[in-house]
Amino acid sequence: MPQDEPAGRTGRTDHDEQPRWLDAEQQRLWRAYLDGSVRFVDAMTREHDEQSEVSLYEYELLVRLSESPDGALRMSALADGLAQSRSRVTHTVARMETRGLVRRSATADDRRGVLCTLTDEGRRTLVVAAPTHVAAVRRYLVDVLTPEQFRALGEAMAAVAAACREARPS
Amino acid sequence: MPQDEPAGRTGRTDHDEQPRWLDAEQQRLWRAYLDGSVRFVDAMTREHDEQSEVSLYEYELLVRLSESPDGALRMSALADGLAQSRSRVTHTVARMETRGLVRRSATADDRRGVLCTLTDEGRRTLVVAAPTHVAAVRRYLVDVLTPEQFRALGEAMAAVAAACREARPS
DNA sequence: TCGTGGTAGTTGAAGGTTCAACCGGGTACG
DNA sequence: CGTACCCGGTTGAACCTTCAACTACCACGA
């Protein structure tokens, strides 16, 4: 209800603009987005829980490390790349370190920095997890869309990401 | 790396099919989706934290209730509609009940059922939160896309939702 | 070189989510 | 009837994330 056109427009107060509500069609699309995104992360999460040693988020973290030249990245680079808080990365890396997936060490130049490095065990885990991960991404997303749909989705979300980044510079 | 075409294709074992990796362009789009969706929920979450009495998720819950004829829904209907676990809904509703936003009561027909009802206070909270919520949805998503992009996004996510629902019937 | 302020990362507590176990109430089938 | 199984919902513990300090270091200006 509250997202629909309100029944009776009454006088406006000083500082609150008239909200531009979503029309019925916009609302339908917005709900579809919401529902789809929730179900998708849920499906991916379960897939990882059942088939993999690492959670969806831990997997993404391993991927970032693996893509970096030496399989190593500073904590802050990791946090920025994953669009997550430093605190969260610290905790997650700590847990992963005890499992032997990554290793932490000091950085050469900046004595504040901490370098997070992929271990052999971490790389092995990633290689094992990758096929089921990609298969799930395909099953729930890529392969259920036409190539044009997929492109449109990606481009749209890139615009959304840009808007979020701009409005709230992390 | 692991989502790219692997360097050397080696012999395949019995039960693992060759994974169909994402090509560079697909990967770019997939990453854009991931990044955008993370940043978007993050931006929405902060918006609610700063400007509203209720979290993003609690807001959605209130919306569902408000859309129902009597401002009331069974716990299971709530869980299904929000695509969330029953447990989570139980906990969330319990917290919201102590804040006076909703009320729980027994259902008439099925003695197992629990009816969750929006209180006046809950409705007031929703009405207050709605304008900033919609404004945020517009600022970070709707208004940064062309109408065609927005429609494409919604339709694509509807397809994703359907795929997830089908593969994992909740 | 001394402050001041910003950056990198960690910490622990508080709060939310998930998981598995559980309690009834319904339902179907002998 | 009774009993075995499913459904609706709750519980509490384990786990993860968030938040607000806090430490340590860098960088800039006076």
pLDDT tens digits, residue range B66-99? 999 999 999 999 999 999 999 999 999 999 999 9
Question: How many H helices and E strands in chain A?
Answer: 6, 3
β-strand B102-106 against B72-74: which pairing, if any?
A: unpaired
pLDDT computed for residue A5 by the predictor: 40
B93 beta carbon to strand D: under 7 Å: yes
Query: To 10 degrees, the CA torsion angle through A94, A97, A103, A107?
Result: 0
CA angle B158, B39, A34 (to 5 degrees): 25
Kindly report the CATH number assigned to the domain that includes residue A147. 1.10.10.10
- Residue B12 resides in a domain: no
Q: Chain C: nucleotides under 7 Å from a protein CB? A: 7-12, 16-21, 24-26
Q: Which helix (H) or strand (E) holds B116?
A: strand B114-118
Helix (H, G, I), strand (E, B), or coil: what is residue A1? Answer: coil
Considering all nucleic acid strands, name the nucleotide whose C1' atom is nearest to the C-alpha of residue B58. Answer: C16
Considering all nucleic acid strands, name the nucleotide whose C1' atom is nearest to the C-alpha of residue B42. Answer: D18
Residues 6+ apart with CB under 8 A from A25: none
Does the beta-carbon distance from A161 to B29 stay under 8 Å? no
Helices B86-98 and B56-67: crossing angle, nearest 10°? 90
> What letter does residue A20 receive in the DSSP assignment?
-
pLDDT tens digits, chain B, 170 residues: what are they? 455 443 334 444 545 567 899 999 999 999 999 999 999 999 999 999 999 999 999 999 999 999 999 999 999 999 999 999 999 999 999 999 999 999 999 999 999 999 999 999 999 999 999 999 999 999 999 999 999 999 999 999 999 999 999 886 66
- Residue A32 resides in a domain: no
Helix (H, G, I), strand (E, B), or coil: what is residue A73? Answer: strand
Distance of CA A84 to the CA centre of its chain: 8
pLDDT computed for residue B2 by the predictor: 52
* Number of independent structural domains in chain A: 1
- Residue A76 resides in a domain: yes
User: What single-letter amino acid sits at B43?
Assistant: A
CB-based contact (8 Å) between A34 and chain B?
Answer: yes
Note whether A38 and A140 are within 8 A (CB).
Answer: no
Residues 6+ apart with CB under 8 A from B19: A130, A131, A134, A135
pLDDT computed for residue B17 by the predictor: 66
Phi then psi for residue B35, to 5 deg, are -60, -45
Residues 136-165 of A with CB under 8 A from B: 137-142, 144-145, 149-165
- Residue B27 resides in a domain: no
Note whether A74 and A114 are within 8 A (CB).
Answer: yes
pLDDT computed for residue A167 by the predictor: 82
Alpha-helical (H) ranges within chain B are 24-51, 56-67, 75-82, 86-98, 120-140, 147-167
β-strand B102-106 against A114-118: which pairing, if any?
A: unpaired
pLDDT computed for residue B8 by the predictor: 37
- Residue A43 resides in a domain: no
Q: Find the domain containing A69 and state its range.
A: 53-167
Q: Which residues of chain A have pLDDT under 70?
A: 1-17, 169-170
- Residue B94 resides in a domain: yes
- Residue B100 resides in a domain: yes
Helices B56-67 and B75-82: crossing angle, nearest 10°? 120
Helices A147-167 and B24-51: crossing angle, nearest 10°? 40
CB-based contact (8 Å) between A38 and chain B?
Answer: yes
> What letter does residue B41 receive in the DSSP assignment?
H
Helix (H, G, I), strand (E, B), or coil: what is residue B38? Answer: helix
- Residue B18 resides in a domain: no
